[in-house]
Amino acid sequence: MVDNFDTIRPLLKFENPGDCYYVQLLRRQSDDPMTNGKPDPNYHGNMHSRSIKDYFIPSLDYFDQKKDEIKGLCDTFNVRAYIRLNKRNYQQISFAIMKHITEQLVSGQTFNSPFSLVASAAGNCNCAGKDKTWILDLDEEYLPHKVAIYAMLSHVEPNATLIHELGQKWHEAGCDDVEAYEKAVFEWRKTMPEIRTKHGLHIISKPFNTAAFTNSWMEYVDKNCVTPPVPQNKLFGENKTVFSLTDKYLKHVEEFAECLKSSINTVAGVTIEKLDDNKTIVTIDGAFDSKKLEKIWHDYCVKSSFGIKCFDIHKDNPTILYVP
């Protein structure tokens, strides 16, 4: 279970009439129970089709009032509660809805479901202004590199300038160069809250030079031979394991299946099934050596120059509020 209500509450600001925060209760593909190893279609498809309930949070009191209800629904339906930390505003959402309806009237388009219209407008109406934040999405494979990630972030703009200015303040207060820099970095780090996720964390950051950071990350990966981990997997019964390949892994499905076959200890069958354009599963009916698979997969990735990509940097995506 991941409960971030107490962590997120202090980050919510209600400064203007109509300010609100958008919360969605979503079925996540990775939470598919895969009954008997078969996917549940309710956990796949677009975001709207996987949403069971949306909330607009107009105040801290309302946030507190809905806490138990949101958690109860998540527990009952095996869904996650997400919240966008860039606030919305009722007026801007209403304008976006009116604009879309007018465009449909003028162009003669087929009208969409009103439910999807509200969700789309709420998703797009970022009204955070100067308080706008991004999400650095670190899954568990990135956590061993967190110290290095913060170091890279500290050297890109505008972070480097901010840290320099903070260091000047501490220097004027009597600190030597090293102490002033350490205090400046510590102060800067406090402006970047960390939100726990089911398998990692979200770092909440102000916008920064992503191109410069990505270049630093690629250099770090090449220098340290950092490769993607074995794809996520679930065990069904004693000897049936299903591996879920998404995103960066999709171009390496056949190769991963071969790596898996090379790690088999006994007679076993390996099958590949494409669920949709975003997910393919590789199933093994039989035992395999997990440590051997990790080494074979790592060696393949190094040989193929398949380094771990830079983690996702979301410019207006939701973060985790609650996961059962």
DSSP assignment string, 120-138: HHHHH----GGG--EEEEE
Q: What is the pLDDT of residue 306?
A: 92
311 is a domain residue? no
Report the pLDDT averaged over residues 16-23.
96
Q: What is the pLDDT of residue 264?
A: 85
Pair 201, 241 in one domain = no
Contacts of 43 by beta carbon, 8 Å cutoff, 6+ apart: 27, 28, 29, 31, 32, 50
Range with the lowest mean pLDDT among 57-66, 93-102, 294-303? Answer: 93-102
* Residue 221's pLDDT band (cuts 50, 70, 90): very high
Pair 6, 92 in one domain = yes
Query: Secondary structure of 50-102 in the HEC alphabet?
Result: CEEEEEEECCHHHHHHHHHHHHHHHHHHCCEEEECCCCEEHHHHHHHHHHHHH
Q: Is the pLDDT of residue 46 over 80?
A: no
Report the pLDDT averaged over residues 193-213.
96
Question: What is the tens place of the pLDDT at every residue in 80-133?
Answer: 999 999 999 999 999 998 988 888 788 777 777 777 788 889 989 999 999 999
CATH number at residue 243: 3.30.1370
CB 109 within 8 A of CB 8: no
307 to 161, 229, 233, 291: CA distances (angstroms): 30, 10, 20, 19
Name the domain boundary from 194, 226, 258.
226
- Domain of 193 in residue numbering reads as 134-226
CA atoms in the 13 A half-sphere facing the CB of 38: 3
Q: Is the pLDDT of residue 67 over 80?
A: yes
117 is a domain residue? yes
* Residue 146's pLDDT band (cuts 50, 70, 90): very high
Pair 88, 171 in one domain = no
Name the domain boundary from 226, 253, 271.
226
pTM for the predicted model, two decimal places: 0.84
Report the pLDDT averaged over residues 20-35.
80
200 is a domain residue? yes
Q: What is the pLDDT of residue 29?
A: 67
Candidates 187, 154, 149, 151; CA nearest to 168 is 187
Q: Is the pLDDT of residue 54 over 60?
A: yes
Cite the DSSP H helix spans in 155-304: 159-172, 177-189, 210-224, 253-262, 290-303
Q: What is the pLDDT of residue 43?
A: 63
Q: What is the pLDDT of residue 234?
A: 86
Pair 70, 174 in one domain = no
309 is a domain residue? no
Q: What is the pLDDT of residue 208?
A: 97
The DSSP call for residue 223 is: H
